[in-house]
Structure 1
Amino acid sequence: MINFIPVLTFILAALFGMEVFDIRRLQGIAKVSGVVLCLAGILTMAFCKGPHLKSFNHHHLLGQGDSHSDQARSHSHIKWVLGTFLMTIAASALSLWMVLQGPVLKAYPSKLLFTTLQCLFSTVQSFFVALAFERDFSRWKLGLDINLISVAYGSIIGIGVSYYLQSWTIEKRGPVFLAMFMPLTLAITMILSSFLLGEQVTLGSVLGGSLMVGGLYSVLWGKSKEHVDI
Structure 2
Amino acid sequence: MEPAASHHYWRFKPHILMVLCQLGYTFLYFITEASFKNGMNPHVYVTYRHIVAGFVMFPFAYFLERDKRPKMTLVIFLEIFLLSFLGVTLTLNMYFTSLRCTSPTLVASMVNTIACLTFIIAVILRLEVVDLQNPRGIAKVVGTLVSLAGVMTMTLYKGPIMPSLGHSAIHFTQTTVIQENWLKGSVLTVASCLTWSIWYIMQAYTLKRYPAQLSLTTWMSFLGGAQSAVFTSMIEHKGVAWRIGFDIDLWSTIYGGIVVSGLIVYMQLWCTKEKGPVFVTMFNPLSTLLVAVLAYFVVDEKLYTGSIVGGTVVISGLYMLLWGKEGDKEEQVSTIEHQYITHEVDQEDPKK
Above 0.5 in TM-score?
yes
- What letter corresponds to residue 63 of structure 1 in structure 2? H
Question: Which consecutive residues of structure 2, in runs of 5 or more, have no partner in the other structure?
Answer: 1-109, 333-352
- Correspondence 1:158 to 2:260: yes
Q: Percent identity?
A: 35
CA drift at 1:196: 2.1
Offset of residue 137 of structure 1: 2.0
CA offset at residue 195 of structure 1? Answer: 2.1
Shift of 1:140: 2.3
Q: Is 1:86 aligned with 2:188?
A: yes
Query: Aligned to 1:225, which of 302, 327, 332?
Result: 327
How far, CA to CA, are the matches of 1:87 and 1:146 in structure 2? 24
Partner of 1:180 in structure 2? 282
| Paired position in structure 2 for 1:26 | 135
Q: Which structure ranks higher in relative contact order (CA pairs < 8 Å, sequence separation ≥ 6)?
A: 1
Counterparts of 1:126-145 in structure 2 under 5 Å?
126-145=228-247
Moved more, 86-95 or 2-11: 86-95
- How far apart, in 2, do the equivalents of 1:38 and 1:177 lie? 14
Moved more, 87-96 or 28-37: 87-96
Of 126-135 and 100-109, deviating more is: 126-135
Verify: 1:197 aligned to 2:299, yes or no. yes
Q: TM-score, normalised by structure 2?
A: 0.59
Residue 165 of structure 1: SS of its match in structure 2? Answer: helix
Contact persistence 1:64–1:198 (CA under 8 A) = no
Q: How many corresponding residue pairs? A: 222
- Look up the match of 2:103: none
Structure 2: how far apart are the matches of 1:200 and 1:64? 15
Tell me the residue number matched to 1:62: 170
Task: Give secondary structure in 1 for the equivalent of 2:112.
Answer: helix
Kept after mapping to 2: 8 A contact 1:101/1:167: yes
Cα distance in 2, alignment partners of residues 64 and 119 from structure 1: 29
2:180 to 75, 78, 87: 75
Q: How far has the Cα of 1:208 moved from its partner? A: 1.1
Letter in 2 for 1:42: V
The 3-state SS of whatever aligns with 1:19 is: coil
CA RMSD of aligned residues (A): 2.2
| TM-score, normalised relative to structure 1 | 0.88
Give the 5 Å matches for 1:99-118. 99-118=201-220
Post-superposition CA distance 1:201-222 (Å, at most 9, x none): 1111111111111111111111
